[in-house]
Amino acid sequence: MKVLAVGAAGTSAGLVTRALAAQGVEVRGLVHSAAREAAARANGATETVVADLDSREELAAALDGVDAVFHVVPAFVPDEAATGLVMVEAARKAGVRRLVFSSVYHPSLLTLSNHRDKQPVEQAIYDSGLEFTVLQPAMFMSQLDGIAASAIEHGVIAGPYSSESKMAYVDYRDVAEAAAQALTTDRLLGGTFELAGAGEYSRHEIARELSSLLGRPLRAEGAEPAELDPRMPAHLREGLATMFHHYEVAGLRGGNSLVLDTILQRPAATVPTYLRELVARA
């Protein structure tokens, strides 16, 4: 079996390449530049291809001879929905059998472009005739890495929205395990699955958890979103500002782990278990 893995050089999507390689699957890593090929191979890709996700011609070459695709679209690209649709159509035309899409938690959050723009891609997948699995992961726990490092050094956890906002999290290593399962077995075939670890956590609750692990008090701070760098592309600046406002008002609610626990056939990672691992490594 050969899988084309988008994001094979990445710190998150690259975990899917690692999970597939661990099962002996041949992975062709798709990267956006030749400079990223070494990272994709370090993650376990047996071959690499440089391609633009918006180029039908380059995707046709990248898809030649593959059985399945793991697809993820970077958030806040200029036209995320269109970029996703190009891959679905290219996979269909190339005769690919199966597509696994790493979408997003609650794509029905219509005010957030990085959620809303996954909907047309999901619909295209459902209508494509391809075998499919759609995975909808919550906020990645890897975002806690910097928070924990800052807390250990400075004793403060801060962020660009309220410290009371409740967030649902998932360890992308668990998502990668689910993705590998979806690509190599029929157990998740035809399913759309929201993926989260158990519980919702505010920055205050994360501070309390870290305080207990470190044996010293930490405090959580909320702040108005800082002025975003005007040199950022307008679509990125706009998307981030809207997202931070949404998190300030409503957080990212959920945190039901039943689906992910069932897929993994074990308890999914939680924020407390992830933080314990971070502190142990530090």
Structural domain total, the chain: 1
CA-to-CA dists, residue 83 to 75, 120, 243, angstroms: 11, 10, 21
- Dihedral angle sign, alpha carbons of residues 199, 153, 249, 235: negative
Instruction: Tell me if 19 is assigned to some domain.
Output: yes
Instruction: Tell me if 85 is assigned to some domain.
Output: yes
pLDDT at 55: 97
Exposure b/e, 211-246, CB count within 10 A at least 16 = b: bebbeeebebebeeeeeeeeeeeeeebebbeebbeb
Using N-to-C axis directions, what is the helix angle for 271-281 and 144-154, rounded to 10°?
50
CA–CA separation, 272 and 210 (whole Å): 9
Range of the domain at 31: 2-138+170-196+255-265
* pLDDT tier for residue 271 given thresholds of 50, 70 and 90: very high
Q: For residue 226, give every residue at least 6 positions away whose Cβ sits within 8 Å of its Cβ, in sequence order, or none.
A: 160
Question: Is the model more confident about 230 or about 72?
Answer: 72
Instruction: Tell me if 159 is assigned to some domain.
Output: no
> Is 167:202 a contact under the CB 8 Å cutoff?
yes
CATH of the domain at 191: 3.40.50.720
Instruction: Tell me if 221 is assigned to some domain.
Output: no
Instruction: Tell me if 175 is assigned to some domain.
Output: yes
Q: Is pLDDT above 80 for 93?
A: yes
Instruction: Tell me if 68 is assigned to some domain.
Output: yes
Q: Is pLDDT above 70 for 226?
A: no
Instruction: Tell me if 132 is assigned to some domain.
Output: yes
Instruction: Tell me if 145 is assigned to some domain.
Output: no
